[in-house]
Amino acid sequence: MTRSATAQIAVAQSAVAQSAVAQSAVAQSAVARSAVARSATAQSAVAQSATAQSAVARSGAAQSATAQSAVAQSATPSAAALTPYDEALTRYDPVIGLETHVELGTVTKMFCGCPVEFGAEPNTRVCPVCLGLPGSLPVVNRSAVEYTIQIGLALHCSISRWCRFARKNYFYPDMPKNYQISQYDEPLCTDGWLDVTVDDPKTGSRVLRVEIERVHMEEDTGKSLHVGGADGRIHGAAYSLVDYNRAGIPLVEIVTKPASGTGALAPAVARAYVAELRDLMRALGVSDVRMEEGSLRCDVNTSLSPRGSAGWGTRTETKNVNSLRSVERAVRYEIQRQAAVLDRGARIVQETRHFHEDTGATTAGRSKEEAQDYRYFPEPDLVPIAPQREWVGQLRAALPELPAARRARLQAEWGLSDLDMAALRNAGALDLVVATVAAGARPADARKWWLGELSRLANEKGAELVQLAITPHEVARVAGLVASGALNDKLAKEVLAGVVAGAGTPDEVVAARGLAVVSDAGELAAVVDDAIEANPAVAAKVRAGKVAAAGALVGAVMKATRGQADATRARELILERLGQCG
């Protein structure tokens, strides 16, 4: 089949047509099938599948790697041995690059019909295709291709007219086929960019452009669970288990070009880039991008070169960093560590490294492979993909409002400063505030409660705002009760805490705990009279014209009503009683 003829075959064609082409190609060349060694690897996959719930025996090579890792960790510099961050930047220029993996939110896997479900029982969402069993053939998930094109368009990439998959050959226990179907020299999306905003202590808010090298499709691996170790890693574990439910889930890898010239802002740029990318994926609706569940994972590349030099230094790759804060910490630590190594006259080893959340340090993993080590070659069981221009045009026209444009619009509509908007983003509250405003609250009230009391409750629980057991609609109801005078701020905090604790809706919490404001004229007037009688000296000052002294009497009223009085009305009554109503 010639390249020009193949290029006419788009992924939009039916699964039957793709299967027929793949089967024909397989039948025509038994030699090619032998070269791929599907039979041998499939037998291995059968054995792996049959024993997936049992411990995976670690080979001598794995034990050796573990020993090397332990040695590397013992050689990790202490905090005292690190070069201070500001000092490192006086001698070296950092260059960063990020490889971000995003699990796509499709219903089924990349090359088979197995459902995608996080948290399912181990090895219950698998089939012969995603286990790589003999005779099984992959078929491309059209939705995954569509999502990838949307991502590429949102990142201002060029969408290839013709691309294809490749086999990336390497062995992991959680890789059932012993190779990964990915893309190599012919990715679907290339040459894009993403602007990020960071706070520069010298110039204030600053926009930097991160250039995108490529966005390509691939399948995810399975997941290994190492049991018995201190930190969940293979070294020190008593045994390992493998779950293949994740194997074959659609994945896109977004690779940046090396970002130089960021200087002291390098850690902040890395964090801002991943945060902006996460917001972009959410806006597109292509992934839930939950870093804590692994649907967004980031590999952080860092290198240093002497200031003013033309070349770049040797890079390290810190693998699978899974929080925004950790991305920033990993870059900062590597700059300090690499500077200390270079200051000693030693050389940086090109290797993968592990990030440790508890200490903020990285430790050596394995030497970093080059592309040739993976022995890439075109995937023989899949036809190339040639997205029709009309289809790409339709996807471009259907793109939603992108995060940067949305923030600019909301900032103008709500009258926020750059710092106000940054506070919303940093707290992960922007979408929650938008939803609360849509439910009827004023923007200022929605911001006040999400960034104030609800952020405090989230910090107490060690949770994100979005994880609190309260909805934007319920927050809007509380704001409405305050605006109507039925609650004051103190009582509203109690109501919010009750809702978060599961005590019911805002109205149910108010009724059950008797938290409504005391606004009955007769009842409030009696409490005011008691406060005046109990504080004659203060009352005398107010009568003499010192109106500010009325605050003490308001406080007495609030104390007597356990904070449930309408403070404004109480003050009005006090001034009336003491002849200062005019």
DSSP string of 240-289? EEEE-TTTT-EEEEEEEPPB-S-GGGHHHHHHHHHHHHHHHHHHHTS---
pLDDT of 33 over the 50 cut: no
Out of 126-130, 136-140, 449-453, 564-568, pick the least confident: 564-568
- Residue 272 CA to residue 421 CA, distance in Å, equals 14
pLDDT of 52 over the 70 cut: no
At residue 31, the pLDDT reads 31
Per the CB < 8 A criterion, the answer to whether 13 and 391 are in contact is: no
Kindly state the tokens that stand for 523.
Answer: 């009842």
At residue 518, the pLDDT reads 63
Q: Mean pLDDT across the stretch 540-547?
A: 78
At residue 380, the pLDDT reads 95
- Residue 428 CA to residue 419 CA, distance in Å, equals 14
Q: Mean pLDDT across the stretch 266-270?
A: 96
- Residue 468 CA to residue 169 CA, distance in Å, equals 43
Higher pLDDT, 398 or 63: 398
Chain-wide mean pLDDT for the chain? 83
pLDDT of 272 over the 60 cut: yes
Per the CB < 8 A criterion, the answer to whether 22 and 137 are in contact is: yes
pLDDT band at residue 104 using 50, 70 and 90 as cut-offs: very high
At residue 372, the pLDDT reads 76
- Considering 28-32, 78-82, 221-225, 569-573, the range whose residues carry the highest mean pLDDT is 221-225
Higher pLDDT, 519 or 120: 120
pLDDT of 368 over the 70 cut: no
- Residue 307 CA to residue 94 CA, distance in Å, equals 9
pLDDT of 411 over the 50 cut: yes
Buried b or exposed e, range 503-529, using 16+ CB within 10 angstroms: ebbbeebbeeeebebbeeeeebeebbe
Strand order in the sheet with 377-378: 179-182, 166-169, 377-378
pLDDT of 553 over the 90 cut: no
3-state secondary structure of 206: strand
pLDDT of 28 over the 80 cut: no
**DSSP count for the chain of H helices, then E strands:** 22, 14
Q: How many residues does the chain have?
A: 582
Q: Mean pLDDT across the stretch 296-301?
A: 95
273-277 long-range contacts, CB within 8 A, separation 24+: 273/98, 273/194, 273/196, 273/210, 274/98, 274/100, 274/298, 274/324, 274/327, 275/196, 275/324, 275/425, 276/194, 276/195, 276/196, 276/403, 276/404, 277/100, 277/102, 277/194
Out of 32-46, 217-231, 403-417, pick the least confident: 32-46
At residue 235, the pLDDT reads 76
Question: Which residues lie closer than 8 Å to 459 by C-beta, 6 or more apart?
Answer: none
List Cα–Cα distances, 14 to 17, 145, 159, 316, in angstroms.
5, 14, 22, 43
Longest CA–CA separation in the chain, Å: 106
- Residue 463 CA to residue 292 CA, distance in Å, equals 11
Higher pLDDT, 73 or 337: 337
Q: Mean pLDDT across the stretch 572-578?
A: 75
- Residue 217 CA to residue 110 CA, distance in Å, equals 9
pLDDT of 197 over the 60 cut: yes
pLDDT band at residue 428 using 50, 70 and 90 as cut-offs: confident
At residue 201, the pLDDT reads 84
Amino acid symbol at 508? E
Q: Mean pLDDT across the stretch 448-452?
A: 96
Per the CB < 8 A criterion, the answer to whether 366 and 239 are in contact is: no
pLDDT of 93 over the 70 cut: yes
pLDDT of 8 over the 50 cut: no
pLDDT band at residue 79 using 50, 70 and 90 as cut-offs: low
Domains within the chain, CATH numbers bracketed: 3-391 (no CATH), 401-513 (no CATH), 521-577 (1.10.10)
Higher pLDDT, 99 or 178: 99
Kindly state the tokens that stand for 482.
Answer: 């305050």
pLDDT tens figures, 301-359: 999 999 988 888 999 999 989 899 999 999 999 999 999 999 999 999 999 999 998 89
At residue 363, the pLDDT reads 93
Kindly state the tokens that stand for 138.
Answer: 């992959």
At residue 561, the pLDDT reads 72
Q: Tokens 């109501």 sit at which residue? A: 495
Q: Mean pLDDT across the stretch 566-579?
A: 74
Q: Tokens 């995108």 sit at which residue? A: 212
Q: Mean pLDDT across the stretch 266-274?
A: 96
Out of 44-58, 144-158, 191-205, pick the least confident: 44-58
Backbone angles phi, psi at 253, to 5 degrees: -115, 125
3-state secondary structure of 163: strand
3-state secondary structure of 377: strand
Nearest to 385 by CA among 140, 105, 168: 140
pLDDT band at residue 527 using 50, 70 and 90 as cut-offs: confident
Amino acid symbol at 119? G
List Cα–Cα distances, 4 to 139, 202, 267, in angstroms.
21, 55, 45
Quote the Cα angle for 87-88-93, to 5°: 130
Q: Mean pLDDT across the stretch 126-132?
A: 95
At residue 182, the pLDDT reads 96
Q: Mean pLDDT across the stretch 519-530?
A: 69
